[in-house]
């Protein structure tokens, strides 16, 4: 499914190699978003899939409307989780992906990129907003992932949420929104 901003969303049937596949997609296609189809909602499995780069999961017993809604939301960059288990998954992700980086370890430009990423913008839209090339945005994202100790867009966004919208001021020191 193509999104108007140029990103793609695909539905992946969960299997033994789903996490490895997700990590490859995250590295090679940053504008590809993956929604994973799972048999059951086990917190540890969902956390592993999200940490590997999935935008979310839907279960096999989901209705067609839930599946379509999940694909559309994932294409927009929104995290898709089954309602009853979502708080537990998010709590574990936020606890596990806190990273050791402090908000000041990010450069002002990296902070700008992270803030736009947290608004579910694609690399192309971030580049347009910041007047950068897509490759420069990708380089900033790699640096952000390294500094924060995360492996996916979702984890980076969770880090940003956990750190309460840290933004640089004009002089480059962090401030809170």
**59, two tokens:** 């279960």
- What is the pTM (predicted TM-score) of this model? 0.56
- Stretch 30-36: mean pLDDT, rounded? 79
β-pair partners for 56: 35, 80
* Right CATH for 103-176 from 3.40.50.2300, 1.10.10.10, 1.10.357.10, 3.30.300.180: 1.10.10.10
Separation CA 43–CA 116 (nearest Å): 28
Q: Per residue in 51-106, pLDDT tens?
A: 888 888 999 898 999 899 888 888 877 788 887 788 788 777 766 544 555 556 88
Domain extents in the chain: 8-96, 103-176
Separation CA 83–CA 46 (nearest Å): 13
Q: Per residue in 101-146, pLDDT tens?
A: 555 688 889 989 998 888 878 888 999 999 999 999 989 998 898 8
């Amino acid at each position: 499914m193509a999104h108007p901003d140029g990103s793609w969303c695909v539905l992946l049937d969960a299997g033994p190699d789903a996490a490895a596949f997700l990590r490859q997609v995250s590295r090679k296609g940053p504008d590809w978003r993956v929604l994973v189809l799972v048999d059951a909602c086990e917190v540890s499995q969902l956390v592993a899939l999200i940490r590997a780069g999935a935008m979310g999961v839907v279960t096999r017993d989901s209705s067609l409307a839930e599946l379509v809604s999940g694909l559309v939301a994932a294409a927009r960059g929104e995290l898709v989780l089954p309602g009853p288990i979502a708080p537990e998954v998010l709590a574990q992700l936020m606890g596990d992906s806190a990273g050791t980086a402090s908000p000041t370890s990010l450069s002002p430009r990296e902070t700008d990129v992270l803030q736009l990423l947290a608004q579910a913008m694609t690399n192309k839209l971030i580049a347009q907003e910041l007047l950068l090339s897509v490759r420069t945005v990708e380089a900033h994202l790699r640096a952000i992932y390294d500094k924060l100790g995360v492996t996916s867009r979702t984890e980076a966004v969770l880090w940003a949420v956990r750190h309460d919208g840290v933004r640089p001021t004009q002089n480059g020191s962090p401030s809170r929104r």
